[in-house]
């Protein structure tokens, strides 16, 4: 009896999801296109390994299911859950810091049936928390407000940086900071903060791990150590540069196929794409990202309450950070930090957390007519 | 205003503020991504050529292709040196996790010797871990089969085909054709790195070494695509084929060579047959010899030691490095010198009493016949090998004129044959003695020089060269081994121009006739009488028998008392006497006399040469002989 009722409910829900999917079609279409590009590139980068492509497709499916589910949760509910979600994910970070495991870095949490990185959760809960807090404060934010948000950002970002995972820490910090920026923080305060940041950099340098420092030094002169730290950057630049205007063609990228390019299915998959599709392909892909970011910002601007606006805005701008850091890394403009190319790089947690973020955007889009109290 | 101190949130204002900020943020984003796009454009357009080149350099490995070494034939096309296909086991160290254990297991399937392991370990040092290193050479078919079924258990071990040098006639040509061996450190210093990039072997001795440039060919290249571990994945179509080395045709007649070697019946010595008309070496053997084949891929230490220590020195090339006292074989040359220098006329006679004295000295120089030969002229002096005639002649001539004349026949210096490592022998002179011993020349030494004794040392090739010059009526031809060269199997063998002939060293033809007459008489009635029996051409020859001395012993004591062994014996001859087409020198290290031991070997060589000569001459002179010999 109970089971029958549960099934009936489930059937109803699925049917209503099917009839009214509550999604933004242009954004959804762009995401599908991006995932298609991702899978195609992965098929080539993995040297036609169907298993890898299939497993990535399964993660996309999981992420999309999550996206559709989150899209049905009203932003108000999300807002109410926010402090708990934030506190929970930070708690997990602490757990990982104490007993986590990973290759050289404590990032993973093993739940027996699934292993995941709690830091991924923060990519979503961090902007939620920033938006939640700013939502209750007078805007533009004051120094006090700024200070509180700063602490809220510093706790998880610090824990993640300590793992050490500079790339993710950077993304978490950025997604929180975007909330402050979008809430209207005065430009002069931004200028002051930027100045202070510049002053702190030499001190931060002192606290960086040796390998992180090496990455920065390597960026400045990769040819100084072509077989060691410079190898990634040099081989990536060779891959990109040799692609030329039109590229070498799909699965004709020798740098990846012959394994000169390290990490060519994950962090350096953009190099493979650039090698095989050339500048034309790169510009089209960047245009696709610009379209997605623009559409997300548009959805954010349409939202009726501050929480939804700030959250949607932060998520969309965080997407830019992914693209910029990854693109800067593979072209030798930025140091090598482990930031994937969204929905193109192989890797489960990143794809799922990104799609969950888009789920939040879809929810905000679907509920844009509803005015929150 | 109750809650007035808590600022009211103004939705509309905040929304407007957000829009402005979102717009500003978007503008920044587009700017940044545009900058990223510019960066891509810089790398992919501006620096495209450079990165393209580096990508190609990553991917493409240029591998040298060794040219096939030229083959070596005798003058009739008998194969003397060839390249045969063989299979070897090659190990790529990078792919073998535990080399020691692997070698142990592999040894149970394919036998691997100590020498194989030693070579493997030394070759390994010079290579990178992703390059294959030969472990076992010349696998048998059974070994290949046994390995093939167990191949799965040996990652990184492969059966690789290769070409190896082989000498089908083995020991017979070891001292002429020579052999190739692995390129070693000394070779590397001399060879062009580019030309030999793919080559593993280089000529070490003999023709293989002397004509290395002709035999080697030109290196080719292929391009292979490699991955980041340098592992070749496929061969790219861009390929420059290697140019094979020239095939060489030698002046040697393998048939004659075989006969010459057989004639020695294993006794230590050397023989050379030269065509005096042009200097072509028809046969040259140094006995005993050795099988050159094991040297190609490195001879086992024990085998090499055995060859080195063998008492009859098989590794010594007696032809160009053997030292022999010429003895009486010098007499025709000394006699000729007397005529040419105007010291004697052919009909002038000397009284042989059994002993010759330098005026005013009491020491006597003996004839080999007690009581002497009586009064003899030049012809008789040569035919009977009368020492006194030549003692007196040499004494009259003096050592300076003697040395100057003998120099014209090439004594005391290398003949210039196309082999490396040729010795000079010794042509005694005042200068030589002062340089060697720091002592003045004594007249008595001139006297014994007249019969080819004393400091005289010749190599068999030197003597053959001088004999060929004499036979060719004084016109010298440098002895040589290269007859023709062929660029690839489809091309026609092109004759190689021999070194030019020199001017005749004999001024008066009558002088030559007198000496030749003496040498004819040697065979007819003299020391080697009977040698011409049954041979259609007239043979002119001269025997030589010298006391055999231990080379290392300063006191020059005879090392053997047995009469069969106590002499170093020589024989020289040419035929047909009036217009010689072959000149033969035979040197034996131990024997009773030149006539008894060396002459029969020379005759066997002539017998082996005859049928071919008759064919070339177009008529059989034997019929003439038969007609003459027929009873009236």
DSSP codes of every residue in B484-520: EEESSTTSPPEEPPPPPP---S-S-HHHHHHHHHHHH
If 0-12 CB within 10 Å is exposed, 13-18 middle and 19+ buried, where does residue A259 land?
Answer: middle
What SS3 class is residue B79? strand
pLDDT of residue A166: 79
Interface residue B27 vs chain A (CB under 8 A): no
Rounded-to-integer distance, Cα A106 and Cα B4, Å:
49
Residues of B with a known catalytic role: 328
Q: Which residues pair with B273 in a beta bridge?
A: B283, B584
Tell me if B33 and A317 make a contact (CB, 8 A cut-off): no
Tell me the two tokens of residue B361.
């000295």
- How much is the pLDDT for A112? 57
DSSP state, residue B218: B
Q: Is the pLDDT of residue B5 over 60?
A: no
Longest dimension (CA), chain A: 72
Of B19, B47, B226, the CB nearest to A301: B19
Q: Which residue from B326, B343, B428 is spatially nearest to B378, judged by alpha carbons?
A: B343
d(CA B554, CA B422): 24
The 10s digit of each residue's pLDDT in B489-538 is 788 889 998 888 888 989 888 899 999 999 999 998 888 888 888 899 99
Which of A38, A36, A37, A34 minimizes the C-alpha distance to A345?
A: A38
Q: Do B471 and B574 contact (CB within 8 A), yes or no?
A: yes
Which of B39, B41, B55 lies nearest to residue A238, judging by beta carbons?
A: B55
The reply to whether B39 touches chain A by the CB within 8 Å rule is yes
Q: What integer pLDDT is reported at residue B626 of this predicted model? A: 44
pLDDT reading at B628 higher than 60:
no
Q: Which CATH class is domain B86-162?
A: alpha beta
Instruction: Kindly list the residues from chain B whose CB atom is less than 8 angstroms away from the CB atom of residue A279.
Output: 40-41, 44-45
Q: Give pLDDT tens digits for A61-70.
A: 999 999 999 9
- pLDDT for A220 equals 66
Cβ atoms within 10 Å, residue B150: 14
CB contact B57 to A (< 8 Å): no
Q: Is B7 on the interface with A (CB under 8 A)?
A: yes
**Contact between A305 and B11 using a beta-carbon 8 Å cutoff:** yes
From chain A, the residues in CB contact with B25 under 8 A are 178, 181-182, 297, 313, 317
| Predicted local distance difference test score (pLDDT) of residue A30 | 95
User: Which pLDDT score, from 0 to 100, does residue B603 have?
Assistant: 94
Q: Is B226 on the interface with A (CB under 8 A)?
A: yes
CATH topology of domain B259-281+313-483+504-607: Beta-lactamase (3.40.710)
Selected residue of B27, B28, B31, B51 to mutate for chain A interface (largest A Cβ count, 10 A): B51
C-alpha dihedral (B21, B26, B31, B36), degrees to nearest 10: 130
Q: Which tens digits make up the pLDDT trace of B150-161?
A: 888 888 888 888
Record: contact A244-B26, CB cut-off 8 A = no
Task: List where CATH 3.40.710.10 sits in chain B.
Answer: 259-281+313-483+504-607
C-alpha distances (whole Å) from B463 to each of B10, B60, B66, B172, B393 are 124, 59, 41, 21, 21
Would you call B22 and A139 a contact, using CB atoms and an 8 Å cutoff? no
User: Which residues of chain A have a pLDDT value below 70?
Assistant: 1, 21, 100-115, 218-229, 370-373
3-state secondary structure of B452: coil
Q: Kindly report the average pLDDT of chain B as a whole number.
A: 87
On whether any CB of chain A is under 8 Å from the CB of B265, the answer is: no
- A87 closest CA partner among A148, A152, A146: A152
Angle, helices B11-41 vs A306-330, to 10°: value is 10
Tens digit of each residue's pLDDT (9 = 90 or more) over B17-65 = 889 999 999 999 999 999 999 999 999 999 999 999 999 888 888 888 8
Q: Which chain B residues are closer than 8 Å to A274 by Cβ?
A: 40, 44
Q: Which of B8, B25, B37 sits opposite A181 (nearest CB)?
A: B25
> Which residues from chain B sit within 8 angstroms of residue A289, using beta carbons?
33
Closest approach of A217 to chain B, Cα-based (Å): 20
Contact B432, B408 (CB under 8 A): no
DSSP annotation of A137 reads: S
Asked if pLDDT for residue B286 goes beyond 90, the answer is yes
**Between the CA atoms of B521, B525, B528 and B530, what dihedral angle is there, to the nearest 10 degrees?**
120
- Bridge-based pairing of strands B232-240 and B220-226 is antiparallel
Structure tokens belonging to residue B341: 């220098």
pLDDT for residue A111:
63
Check residue B527 and report its DSSP letter: T
Would you call B40 and A182 a contact, using CB atoms and an 8 Å cutoff? no
* Contact assignment for A254 to B58 by CB distance below 8 Å: yes
Range(s) within chain B of domains with CATH label 3.30.1390: 86-162
The answer to whether the bond into A54 is cis (omega within 30° of 0) is: no
Pairs of residues, one from chain A and one from chain B, whose beta carbons lie less than 8 Å apart = 149
- Find residue B585's DSSP bridge partners: B272, B572
Give A310's contacts in chain B (Cβ within 8 Å): 18
In this prediction, residue B625 has a pLDDT band, given cuts at 50, 70 and 90, of: very low
CA distance A291 to chain B (A): 10
Closest CA to B544 of B389, B383, B329: B329
B357: left (phi over 0), alpha (psi -120 to 50) or beta: beta
Contact: A290, B30; criterion CB under 8 Å? yes
CB contact (8 A) between residue A290 and residue B43: no
Residue B116: the pLDDT is 83
**Strand B220-226 relative to strand B60-65, pairing:** antiparallel
Among B17, B26, B40, whose Cβ lies nearest the Cβ of A279?
B40
Residue whose C-alpha is closest to residue B200's, from B240, B163, B231, B235 = B163
| Contact criterion met (CB < 8 Å) for A139 and B41 | no
Short-list B283, B246, B240, B239, CA closest to B263: B283
Identity of the residue in B22, B40, B56 whose CB atom sits nearest the CB atom of A182: B22
Encode A192-217: b = buried (16+ Cβ within 10 Å), e = exposed.
Answer: eeeeeeeeeeeeeeeeeeeebebbee
Cα separation of B509 and B222, whole Å? 63
Comparing CA positions, the residue from B142, B146, B137 lying closest to residue B119 is B137
Q: Find the helix or strand (DSSP H, E) in which A110 lies.
A: strand A109-110
Query: What contacts B486, CB < 8 A, 6 or more positions away?
Result: B70, B246, B247, B248, B249, B492, B493, B494
Instruction: Determine the average pLDDT of the residues in B582-599.
Output: 89
Joined together, the tokens standing for residue B271 give 């023989």
- E-strand ranges in B27-144 read 60-65, 72-73, 79-91, 133-136
How far B50 CA sits from the closest chain A CA (Å)? 8
Among A134, A126, A200, residue whose Cα is nearest residue A157: A126
């Amino acid at each position: 009896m109970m089971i029958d009722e549960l099934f009936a409910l489930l059937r109803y829900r699925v049917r209503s999801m099917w009839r009214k999917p509550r999604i933004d079609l242009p954004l959804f279409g762009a995401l599908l296109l991006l995932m298609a590009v991702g899978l195609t590139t992965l098929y080539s980068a993995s040297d036609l390994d169907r298993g890898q492509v299939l497993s990535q497709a399964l993660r996309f499916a999981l992420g999309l299911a999550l996206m559709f589910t989150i899209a049905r949760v009203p932003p108000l509910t999300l807002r109410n859950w926010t402090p708990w979600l934030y506190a929970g994910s930070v708690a997990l970070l602490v757990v990982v810091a104490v007993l986590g495991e990973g290759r050289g870095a404590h990032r993973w949490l093993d739940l027996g049936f699934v292993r995941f990185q709690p830091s991924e959760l923060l990519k979503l809960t961090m902007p939620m928390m920033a938006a939640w807090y700013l939502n209750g404060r007078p805007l533009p934010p004051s120094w006090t407000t700024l200070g509180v948000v700063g602490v809220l950002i510093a706790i998880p970002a610090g824990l993640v940086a300590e793992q050490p995972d500079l790339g993710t820490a950077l993304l978490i910090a950025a997604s929180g900071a975007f909330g402050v920026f979008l809430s209207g923080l005065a430009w002069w305060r931004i200028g002051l903060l930027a100045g202070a940041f510049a002053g702190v950099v030499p001190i931060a340098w002192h606290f960086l791990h040796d390998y992180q420092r090496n990455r920065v030094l390597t960026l400045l002169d990769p040819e100084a150590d072509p077989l060691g730290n410079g190898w990634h950057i040099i081989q990536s630049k060779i891959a990109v540069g040799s692609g030329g205007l039109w590229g070498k063609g799909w699965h004709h990228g020798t740098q990846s196929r012959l394994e000169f390019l390290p990490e060519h299915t994950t962090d350096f998959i953009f190099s493979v794409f650039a090698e095989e599709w050339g500048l034309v392909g790169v510009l089209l892909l960047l245009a696709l990202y610009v379209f997605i970011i623009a559409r997300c910002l548009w959805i954010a601007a349409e939202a009726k309450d501050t929480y939804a606006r700030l959250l949607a805005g932060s998520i969309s701008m965080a997407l830019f950070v992914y693209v910029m850091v990854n693109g800067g890394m593979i072209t030798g403009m930025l140091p090598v930090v482990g930031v994937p190319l969204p929905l193109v790089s192989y890797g489960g947690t990143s794809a799922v957390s990104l799609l969950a973020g888009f789920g939040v955007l879809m929810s905000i889009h679907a509920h844009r007519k509803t005015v929150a109290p | 205003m109750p809650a007035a101190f808590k600022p009211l949130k103004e939705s509309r204002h905040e929304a407007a503020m957000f829009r402005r900020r979102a717009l500003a943020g978007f503008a920044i984003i587009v700017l940044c991504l545009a900058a990223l796009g510019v960066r891509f454009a810089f790398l992919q357009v501006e620096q495209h050529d450079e990165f393209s080149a580096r990508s190609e350099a990553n991917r493409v490995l240029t591998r040298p292709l060794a040219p096939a070494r030229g083959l070596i034939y005798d003058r009739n096309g008998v194969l003397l040196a060839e390249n045969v296909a063989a299979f070897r086991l090659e190990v790529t160290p990078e792919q073998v996790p535990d080399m020691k254990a692997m070698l142990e297991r592999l040894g149970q399937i394919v036998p691997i010797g100590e020498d194989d392991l030693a070579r493997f370990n030394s070759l390994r040092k010079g290579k990178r871990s992703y390059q294959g290193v030969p472990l076992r050479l010349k696998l048998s078919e059974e070994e290949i089969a046994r390995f093939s079924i167990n191949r799965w258990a040996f990652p990184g071990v492969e059966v690789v085909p290769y070409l190896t040098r082989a000498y089908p006639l083995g020991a017979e040509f070891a001292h002429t054709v020579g052999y190739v061996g692995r390129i070693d450190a000394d070779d590397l210093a001399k060879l062009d790195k580019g030309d030999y990039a793919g080559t593993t072997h280089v000529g070490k001795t003999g023709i293989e070494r002397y004509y290395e440039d002709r035999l080697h060919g030109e290196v080719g290249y292929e391009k292979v695509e490699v991955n980041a571990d340098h592992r070749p994945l496929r061969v790219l179509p861009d390929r420059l084929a290697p140019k094979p080395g020239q095939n060489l045709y030698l002046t040697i007649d393998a048939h004659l060579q075989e006969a010459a070697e057989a004639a020695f019946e294993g006794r230590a010595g050397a023989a050379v047959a030269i065509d005096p008309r042009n200097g072509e070496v028809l046969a040259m053997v140094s006995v005993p010899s050795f099988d050159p084949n094991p040297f190609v891929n490195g001879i086992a230490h024990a085998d090499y030691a055995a060859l080195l220590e063998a008492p009859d020195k098989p590794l010594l090339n007696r032809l160009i490095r053997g030292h022999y006292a010429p003895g009486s074989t010098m007499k025709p040359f000394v006699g000729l010198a007397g005529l040419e220098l105007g010291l004697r006329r052919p009909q002038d006679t000397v009284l042989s009493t059994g002993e010759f004295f330098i005026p005013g000295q009491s020491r006597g120089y003996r004839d080999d016949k007690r009581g002497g030969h009586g009064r003899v002229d030049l012809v008789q002096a040569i035919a009977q090998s009368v020492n006194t005639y030549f003692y007196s002649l040499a004494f009259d001539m003096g050592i300076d004129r003697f040395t100057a004349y003998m120099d014209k026949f090439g004594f005391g210096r290398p003949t210039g044959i196309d082999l490396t490592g040729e010795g000079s022998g010794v042509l005694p002179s005042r200068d030589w003695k002062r340089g060697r011993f720091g002592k003045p020349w004594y007249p008595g030494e001139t006297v014994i020089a007249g019969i080819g004794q004393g400091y005289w040392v010749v190599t068999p090739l030197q003597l053959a060269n001088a004999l060929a010059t004499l036979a060719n009526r004084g016109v010298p031809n440098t002895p040589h081994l290269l007859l023709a060269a062929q660029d690839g199997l489809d091309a026609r063998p092109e004759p190689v121009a021999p070194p030019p002939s020199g001017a005749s060293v004999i001024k008066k033809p009558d002088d030559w006739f007198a000496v030749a007459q003496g040498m004819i008489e040697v065979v007819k009635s003299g020391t080697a009488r009977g040698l011409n029996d049954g041979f259609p051409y007239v043979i002119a020859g001269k025997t030589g028998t010298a006391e055999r001395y231990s080379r290392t012993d300063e006191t020059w004591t005879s090392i053997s008392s047995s009469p069969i062994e106590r002499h170093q014996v020589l024989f020289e001859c040419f035929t047909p006497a009036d217009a010689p087409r072959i000149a033969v020198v035979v040197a034996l290290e131990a024997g009773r006399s030149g006539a008894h031991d060396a002459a029969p070997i020379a005759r066997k060589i002539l017998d082996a040469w005859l049928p071919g000569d008759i064919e070339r001459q177009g008529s059989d002179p034997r019929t003439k002989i038969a007609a003459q010999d027929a009873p009236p």
